[in-house]
Amino acid sequence: MDPQTAITGRELILAASAIGAGLAMIAGIGPGIGQGYAAGKAAEAVGRQPEAQGDVIRTMILGQAVAETTGIYGLVIAIILLFVQPLLG
C-alpha cells in the first residue's frame, strides 16, 4: 500500500473526533427544551401579573442560565476535539 494514500492511525483519530464533536452537540436538545419551558411559564406569569414582570424575567433568566451549562459542556468538548485534539500523542 502506498504510504502516501494509506489511512494512518492519526487520521482515524481525527475522523473519529469529527463524529465525537457532532455527538457532543446533541446535548443541546436539553437546554433548548428546558429553557423554552421556562420561557413559556414566564410568559404565562407575565400575562397574569404584568406588574411582576421584572421579578419573573429575572427568575427565568437565572434558571435558564443554569439550564445552559450542559449545553456549554458539550460545546467545550466539541471544541476540544476539533481544535485541541488531545488524543493525538
Residues numbered 45-74 forming contacts with its own copies, rule: CB under 8 A: 45-50, 52-53, 55-57, 59-64, 66-71, 73-74
Q: How far is the CB of 54 from its own copies (least distance, A)?
A: 9
- Binding to its own copies by CB under 8 A, coded x per residue (else -) over 13-42, reads xxxxxxxxxxxxxxxxxxxxxxxxxxxxxx
Q: Under rule CB under 8 A, how many of the chain's residues touch its own copies?
A: 80
Alpha-carbon distance of 32 to 41, in angstroms, equals 14
How many beta carbons lie within 10 A of that of residue 20, not counting itself? 16
Where are the strands (E) in the chain, listed by range? none
Alpha-carbon distance of 83 to 17, in angstroms, equals 10
Q: How far is the CB of 10 from its own copies (least distance, A)?
A: 7
Q: How far is the CB of 36 from its own copies (least distance, A)?
A: 2
Alpha-carbon distance of 28 to 64, in angstroms, equals 13
